[in-house]
């Protein structure tokens, strides 16, 4: 039986970074990944990197003329370039971990008990490994709702599967109005597909303030994306050439044809097959691995990181999870999930939407006395250079302390700008620091001068 000091299940951001760190410190490390196509984790292979590569290519494509065949050719080339990029990053990640001194094997891991892991290899062979410390970093998987015919349709895809489709659909139907679905809607529309989003709720992106949501919705609809709210997908059946969705709207039952269906109904922690019960590892009510603020599970020598823990599913959270675990293992345990500060996020639309901190509604519910700043994106000179003048910037300020409670940016380059705000919030700087800062010109960041100057 093989014995190691550290066994990591899953080659995600947190797991791979921890593997390299522990191996360089001189400890034995075994990293087990179920697929050699997932070295580097979800972000590199089937999420952040490939979708943003497609989004970038789509914005180039929309500026070019041609019929649908020409658009489809550009789409195929984009898929080819995306695949080459992810393959290169996958190999680089593998080499980095191995060169650090960790052992990487491809196999499916499951707990035999709290100290022993059974590993089944692709050739059918198996091995049991004993480990002193175990780290779970298995990510999340797409959730497929129990809609009649959906799972079996040859035209239905999860987000991971759709990224490998090299045939541009004439009509893409997206089931789910969340952020993943919106990103796919945006870049497929840029490539030339007709896009329809079906969401069963009546409120568009309910997490956001209504004025921000209205701007995002108007932007998508102005580009030709159809958003059907308060609509349920009843069933799906295939014909010889496409899929037909039966949907229930407030006007009654209707049918909708699609060349491709994207199932964008969320992701669930990937705990299937781990046999966590055998190790005594507890789950939350939502099926995530239950951890404390140091990311320890209910078993003291077992930790969990990344999407499998539930909560915010971002690769930079998985990276911060690594920092928390590292702090427990090699430091004084001072870093925890409770002191990581404000967490920004971006939705890569065209233009992108980014946010950090509270919404106006959340700030009011929390009892703050607030001041609001708003600025049309077109007021920033750089938007004219970029030919991307739509959007809005919004900030929520604590009226008593002048501290920034939240910022919402629906504008060009917002995914870069939001990081400035994150640092200011964590440093507890008053909004006046961003208001009076000297920025290079012409840039989108200088919009903070005018945004915060609007506060009286």
* Domain spans in the chain, listed from the N-terminal domain onward: 2-141+268-339, 156-265, 345-453
Active site amino acids: 441
Return the pLDDT at 168. Answer: 98
Return the pLDDT at 456. Answer: 80
- Looking up tokens 């370039």, which residue turns up? 81
Return the pLDDT at 1. Answer: 85
Same fold, 156-265 and 345-453: no
Return the pLDDT at 174. Answer: 98
* CATH code of the domain occupying 156-265: 3.50.50.60
What would be the CATH architecture of the domain defined by 2-141+268-339? 3-Layer(bba) Sandwich (3.50)
Return the pLDDT at 39. Answer: 98
Homologous superfamily of 345-453 = FAD/NAD-linked reductase, C-terminal dimerisation domain (3.30.390.30)
Tell me whether residue 275 is exposed, middle or buried, using C-beta atoms within 10 angstroms of its C-beta: 0 to 12, 13 to 18, 19 or more.
Answer: middle
The reply to whether the predicted model has a pTM over 0.85 is yes
Q: Which of 178, 191, 350, 200 is nearest to 262 (CA)?
A: 178
Q: What is the mean pLDDT of each run of 10 residues along the chain (456 residues)?
A: 96 98 98 98 97 98 96 98 98 98 98 98 97 98 97 97 97 98 98 98 97 98 98 97 96 96 98 98 97 98 98 95 97 96 97 98 98 98 97 98 98 98 98 98 98 94
């Amino acid at each position: 039986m093989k014995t190691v000091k550290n066994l990591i299940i899953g080659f995600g951001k947190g797991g791979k970074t921890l593997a390299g760190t522990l191996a360089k410190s001189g400890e034995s490390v075994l990293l087990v990944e179920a697929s050699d196509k997932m070295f580097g984790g979800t972000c590199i292979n089937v999420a952040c990197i490939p979708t943003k590569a497609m989004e970038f290519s789509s914005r180039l494509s929309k500026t070019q003329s041609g019929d649908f065949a020409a658009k489809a050719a550009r789409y195929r080339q984009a898929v080819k370039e995306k695949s080459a990029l992810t393959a290169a990053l996958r190999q680089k990640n593998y080499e980095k971990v191995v060169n650090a001194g960790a052992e990487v094997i491809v196999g499916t891991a499951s707990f035999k008990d709290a100290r022993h892991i059974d590993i089944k290899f692709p050739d059918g062979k198996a091995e049991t490994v004993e480990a002193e410390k175990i780290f779970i970093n298995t990510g999340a998987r797409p959730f497929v709702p129990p809609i009649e015919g959906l799972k079996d349709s040859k035209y239905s895809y999860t987000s991971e599967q759709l990224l490998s489709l090299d045939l541009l659909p004439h009509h893409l139907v997206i089931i789910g109005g969340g952020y993943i679905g919106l990103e796919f809607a945006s870049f497929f529309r840029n490539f030339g597909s007709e896009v329809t989003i079906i969401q069963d709720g009546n409120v568009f992106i309910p997490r956001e303030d209504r004025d921000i949501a209205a701007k995002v919705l108007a932007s998508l609809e102005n580009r030709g994306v159809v958003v059907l709210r308060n609509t349920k997908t009843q069933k799906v059946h295939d014909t010889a050439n496409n899929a037909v969705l039966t949907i229930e709207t407030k006007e009654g039952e209707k049918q909708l044809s699609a060349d491709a269906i994207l199932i964008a109904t969320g992701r669930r922690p990937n705990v299937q097959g781990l046999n966590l019960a055998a190790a005594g590892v507890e789950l939350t009510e939502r099926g995530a691995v239950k951890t404390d603020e140091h990311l320890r599970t209910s078993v003291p020598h077992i930790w969990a990181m990344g999407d499998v823990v539930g909560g915010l599913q971002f690769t930079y959270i998985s990276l911060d999870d690594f920092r928390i675990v590292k702090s427990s293992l090699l430091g004084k345990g001072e870093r925890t999930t409770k002191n990581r500060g404000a967490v920004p996020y971006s939705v890569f639309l065209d233009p992108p939407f980014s946010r950090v901190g509270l919404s106006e509604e959340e700030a009011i519910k929390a009892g703050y006395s607030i001041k609001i700043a708003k600025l049309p994106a077109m007021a920033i000179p750089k938007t004219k250079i970029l030919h991307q003048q739509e959007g809005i910037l919004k900030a929520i300020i604590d009226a008593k302390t002048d501290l920034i409670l939240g910022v919402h940016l629906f504008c060009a380059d917002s995914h870069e700008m939001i990081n400035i705000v994150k640092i200011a919030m964590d440093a507890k700087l008053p909004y006046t620091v961003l208001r009076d800062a000297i920025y290079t010109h012409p840039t989108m960041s200088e919009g903070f001068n005018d945004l915060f100057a609007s506060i009286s």
